[in-house]
Amino acid sequence: MTAATDPPGQRRKGVTISRKLLPYLLSMPALLVCIGILIPFFTAVWYSLQHYRLSQPWNRGMNWGENYLNFLTDADFWNTLQISLLYAGLTVVLELILGLGIALLLQKRTRMNNLISIMLLMPLMTAPALAALMFKLMTNSNFGILNYFAQVLGFENMRWASSPDTALLTVILVDIWVYTPFIMILLLAGLRSLPTQPFEAAALDGVPRIQQFWRITLPMLMPYVLTAALFRLLDSIQQFDIIYAMTQGGPGDNLMVFQVEAYLNFFQSTNVGRSAALLIILWAITFVLSNIFIKNWLRLRERTRPEG
C-alpha cells in the first residue's frame, strides 16, 4: 500500500510541526516540572547561607556556611539526626517484616485473600495527620481504648506519647498502622509475579517450605524489597505530620526530627537560615541513602538477569 497524498493544489488543514521541533515540545512539561523543583531548592540553598531571621529583617546578611558549621557543635542538631535515623530505621524494618508476613499469607490468589488485601489498604487511605489524632484519642488516659488494653495487660499509668520512654514507640505504632499496607501491596505483587518453575522443582526434590523461602523466594523478591524499603525510607526520614500531630516534637526534644525542627525554627524562632540549612542537610542524607539503595537494586537486577 502506498501512503495517501493530498490532491494537487490543496493543503492539509491544521498545524504542522517540524520533526526537529517535536522532541523539544514533548519534553517541555518535564522541563517545567524540573524548573519548578529547582527554583525552591536553590532558594533554600541561598537562604541557608544567610543570617536571616524574619523578626530581624534589618540584620540579614551572608554568613557563607556558618549555619552548617554551627551544627558541628550543636547538641540539638545531633539529637535531631539521631532521632530521625532511628525513627526511619525502626519503621522501615518493622514495616518490611510485617508487610512481608502479610503478603506471604495472602500470596495465594483467592477471593477471600483479594478481599482481605483490599480491606488492609484502608489505613493507607487515611491522612497521616488524621491517623495520629485518632491514635491520640485511643491512647487518652481517661477513655482511650488502647490505654484500656494496656491496663488489662498489666501496664498501669501508660502515658504513651506524653512520656519520653514511650513517645517513640507510640508514633512508630501509628506509622506502622498507616504505611504497612503500602509495603504489603508491593511485596504481594512481587510474590505473585515470581515464576513457579523453581518452586515446583524444589517441591519435587522435597525441599522444606522454610528453605524454599530463604533460598528461592527471598533472593528473587529482593528487588521488590529494596524498592519498597527505598520508598518508605525516603518518606519516613522526612516524617512530619504524624509526629507533629501527636507531640509537636516532644516531650522535650525526644521526637525532634528534621522536618519538625525546621518547621519550628521557621515559624516559632523565625530563623529562616537555620531552617533552610536543616532541610538542605536532610536532602543530602536522602540523596546518599537513595543512591545506595539504587546501586544495590541495579546490582541485583544484573545478577538475576538471564544470560544470553
C-beta of residue 140 within 8 angstroms of C-beta of residue 147: yes
C-alpha cell at 217: 523466594
List the beta bridge partners of residue 61: 51
For residue 31, being part of any structural domain is answered with no
Tens place of pLDDT per residue across the chain (308 aa): 444 455 555 555 555 667 778 888 888 888 898 898 899 899 989 999 988 888 887 778 888 888 899 888 889 899 999 999 999 999 999 999 999 999 999 988 888 988 988 898 888 888 888 999 999 888 888 888 888 888 888 887 788 888 888 899 999 999 999 999 999 999 999 998 888 888 888 888 888 888 888 888 888 888 889 889 988 998 899 889 999 998 888 888 889 999 999 999 989 888 899 999 999 999 999 999 888 888 888 887 777 665 54
List the beta bridge partners of residue 150: none
C-beta of residue 294 within 8 angstroms of C-beta of residue 223: no
CATH of the domain at 234: 1.10.3720.10
For residue 228, being part of any structural domain is answered with yes
- For the chain, give the number of residues: 308
The span from the CA of 94 to the CA of 99, in Å, is 8
- Sequence-distant (6+) residues with CB within 8 A of 170 are 135, 139, 160, 161, 246
At 157, which amino acid appears?
Answer: N
For residue 25, being part of any structural domain is answered with no
**What is the reported pTM?**
0.85
The span from the CA of 264 to the CA of 248, in Å, is 9
Backbone φ, ψ for residue 4 (5° rounding): -70, 140
For residue 292, being part of any structural domain is answered with yes
The span from the CA of 123 to the CA of 182, in Å, is 9
Provide the domain count of the chain: 1
For residue 58, being part of any structural domain is answered with no
For residue 60, being part of any structural domain is answered with no
For residue 102, being part of any structural domain is answered with yes
List the beta bridge partners of residue 53: 271
For residue 47, being part of any structural domain is answered with no
| 60-63 long-range Cβ contacts below 8 angstroms, 24+ apart | 63/273
Element (H, E) at 89: helix 75-105
What is the residue range of 278's domain? 76-304
- Sequence-distant (6+) residues with CB within 8 A of 244 are 129, 259, 260, 263
